[in-house]
Amino acid sequence: MASQQHLSTIKGAKVLMVGAGGIGCELLKTLALSGFQDIHIIDMDTIEVSNLNRQFLFRKSHVGQSKAKVARDAVLRFRPHVSITSYHANVKNQEFNVDFFKQFSVVLNGLDNLDARRHVNRLCLAAEIPLVESGTTGFLGQVTVHVKGKTECYECQPKPAPKTYPVCTITSTPSKFVHCIVWAKDLLFVKLFGDKNQENDLNVRSSDPASSSDHAEDVFELKKDETIEQYGRRVFDHVFGYNIEVALSNEDTWKNRNKPRPIYIRDILPEEPTNQNGNMDKICATDEQSLISAMTSIGMKNPQEIWSLMENSRIFTEAIVLFFTKRKKDVGNLSFDKDDQLAVEFVTAAANIRAASFGIPMHSLFESKGIAGNIVHAVATTNAIIAGLIVVEAIKVLQNDLNKYRMTYCLEHPSRKMLLMPVEPFEPNKSCYVCSETPLSLEINTSHAKLRDFVEKIVKAKLGMNFPLIMHGASLLYEVGDDLDEDMVANYAANLEKVLSELPSPVVSGTILSVEDLQQELSCSINIKHRDEFDEEKEPDGMVLSGWQQTTLEKGDSSKTSLGNGESTSKALPSTTDANKNDDADIVASGTKRKLEEASSGVDASSSANEANSLKKLEVLDDDNDLVVLDDDGDLVTNKKKRLQ
């Protein structure tokens, strides 16, 4: 039974929830039932059919509507006297600034990506408002508390970078099905239906001029005198036949590898496919994107069946026909979306054909969609448990009961007969550039790199700033804002295209740049160090930032390149583990291990190494997006951090 003091604290609190998805629905319900009277919700998403199996405030009739608004209306039906304000918007919008955050007693996160989490963390630090973070993935989950000056902030420990694969593995020597998925999703799909100017190795040429004469023109350009079917078969022959033959010509590559076999469509489908199921007219009668399906068009129904090589070939060519006939207006600016049925079908077929060529087992549409979209199936009860723990920690925060704060981990299997493992929070990391303002250092070729490279690859991609302001001493080099006049905008645009050493206030080795984000009220200093050369495979950005780091997800493999959130290059390809839109799953790893053998109250100080390792695997969990990666090295915790006294 809650005490009167608890009830008074709860009723007087003004709470901001960010995210109304898997955790958010459970959290809003629990807050309302716990007696909170003033709740605000921000969520930019709309309801999808796939949400309905775990986001229980939503119904089928709500599909397409705002999550925040529908969640509010659903809770008001059984708690009509609670004040709930919903915002169908992005939390990164300028209206949600520091002054907006200052009106709340506590902020509760149920977000779906690292970028937004970092943004909210910084606003909470600037507004000096406590933040309760959370996340789930399957049976695993965690809740952490972040209070400025008292506990570490969300960014005090490095977050994992999206796993990447070297371009040579993806384009030349795939050995796993995931390599084929990445090739189909990030190279072929984009080349056919997205930005055709993307640089990749799909349009390869033979070193023999005679043999490459038929491939002198751009294979991916539709000719005036050919049908879409002919175009699809020509693309098929190029990527699965000709390209493989060119690869086989380099005999050294295959000395210690199994050779792939070229696949030409005439050997699989002797004649151009015709629709024998009478479904094309039905497909063509609708303009609704979600109903356009190559499977339906050729009469296939089971997404869990592994298609034959012939069936994959038919899906491949049929998907191209449907994209260029029924979705022609989209062609040229498409990117892969796991909720786009036709895109998933195309990627599955393309990956399977490539897998067949390289002797890799093929996968079903269901399995391929999970790999391509980073889907980790949600467990609704985990969301409910985590939501309850968020409210428990929020009440502690509201009562300023620092000694009782806990980071709580929800485990899949009992450890010392416990499924919920509490751990005491840690003090702020003194080297954190976000909450401790520790200077960073950047190695960069100041004679070649442009200011645009610095802004895009460092300031935005790695430091997560949305509205950056960059100064060299008293000289303002770059600024973003709606209140800038045309001359200033033109001046900053011109600066972006200038080499660092040629800026009005030259940036050279030894320069200290001041970078700020006025919306986040975050500032940091970056020491510039000139460096002539960089390893294109290991350092594809052509610059190295120190003092800020993301953890590579595969240790000991120097050929893999970690990219910042949302960043991509032509030298290192984001794998299927990039931060794409997913459901109830995220990153479950951290490079800096917590000292878990120091027991918190309720946990025996003699906890075994296995328990410590079990908990360290749960370092960074997120609710609705990204990747699940378990740290399975089995090492004991080595980085000792001070616990709160």
Task: Pick left, alpha or beta for residue 272 (phi over 0 → left; psi -120 to 50 → alpha; otherwise beta).
Answer: beta
Residue 410 labelled as part of a binding site: no
Give which of 592, 594, 562 is closest to 579, Cα–Cα: 562
> Would you state the structure tokens that stand for residue 465, as one six-digit string?
């700033």
Question: H helices of 172-291, where?
Answer: 177-182, 189-193, 228-237, 243-248, 265-268, 280-284
**How far is residue 28's CA from residue 41's CA, in Å, rounded to a whole number?**
9
Residue 114 labelled as part of a binding site: yes
Give which of 457, 471, 459 is closest to 504, Cα–Cα: 471
Asked if residue 386 lies in contact with residue 407, where contact means CB atoms within 8 angstroms, the answer is: no
Residue at 173: amino acid letter? T
Asked if residue 39 lies in contact with residue 643, where contact means CB atoms within 8 angstroms, the answer is: no
Residue 197 labelled as part of a binding site: no
Q: Is 284 noted as a catalytic residue in this protein? A: no
Beta strands 468-472; 512-517: pairing state: antiparallel
Residue 119's Cβ-side half-sphere holds a number of Cα atoms within 13 Å equal to 23
Residue 116 labelled as part of a binding site: yes
Residue 20 labelled as part of a binding site: yes
Helix axes 380-398, 22-33, angle to 10 degrees: 50
Residue 19 labelled as part of a binding site: yes
Residue 23 labelled as part of a binding site: yes
Residue 52 labelled as part of a binding site: yes
Residue 79 labelled as part of a binding site: no
Q: How far is CA 445 from CA 418, 441, 495, 532, 570, in A?
A: 53, 13, 17, 5, 19
* CA of residue 249 relative to chain centroid, distance: 38
Asked if residue 367 lies in contact with residue 361, where contact means CB atoms within 8 angstroms, the answer is: no
Phi, psi of 48 (to 5 degrees): -115, 160
**How far is residue 382's CA from residue 588's CA, in Å, rounded to a whole number?**
15
C-alpha torsion sign, points 496, 500, 503, 507: positive
Question: H helices of 415-477, where?
Answer: 451-453
Task: Pick left, alpha or beta for residue 299 (phi over 0 → left; psi -120 to 50 → alpha; otherwise beta).
Answer: left
Asked if residue 173 lies in contact with residue 253, where contact means CB atoms within 8 angstroms, the answer is: yes
> Would you state the structure tokens that stand for residue 181, as one six-digit string?
């998925």
Residue 51 labelled as part of a binding site: yes
DSSP 187: I
**Selected catalytic residue, list 168, 180, 284, 524:** 168
Encode 188-202: b = buried (16+ Cβ within 10 Å), e = exposed.
bbbbbbbeeeeebbb
Encode 332-344: b = buried (16+ Cβ within 10 Å), e = exposed.
eebebebebbbbb
Residue 43 labelled as part of a binding site: yes
Residue 21 labelled as part of a binding site: yes
Give which of 399, 406, 387 is closest to 146, Cα–Cα: 406
Please provide the distance, in angstroms rounded to a whole number, between the alpha carbons at the two ends of the chain.
29
Question: H helices of 402-496, where?
Answer: 451-453, 486-496
Residue 13 labelled as part of a binding site: no
Residue 432 labelled as part of a binding site: yes
Residue 24 labelled as part of a binding site: yes
> Would you state the structure tokens that stand for residue 204, as one six-digit string?
């390869």
Question: From the annotation, which residues make up the binding site for ATP?
Answer: 19-24, 43, 51-54, 67, 112-117
Question: From the annotation, which residues make up the binding site?
Answer: 19-24, 43, 51-54, 67, 112-117, 153, 156, 432, 435
Active-site residue numbers? Answer: 168
Question: From the annotation, which residues make up the binding site for Zn(2+)?
Answer: 153, 156, 432, 435
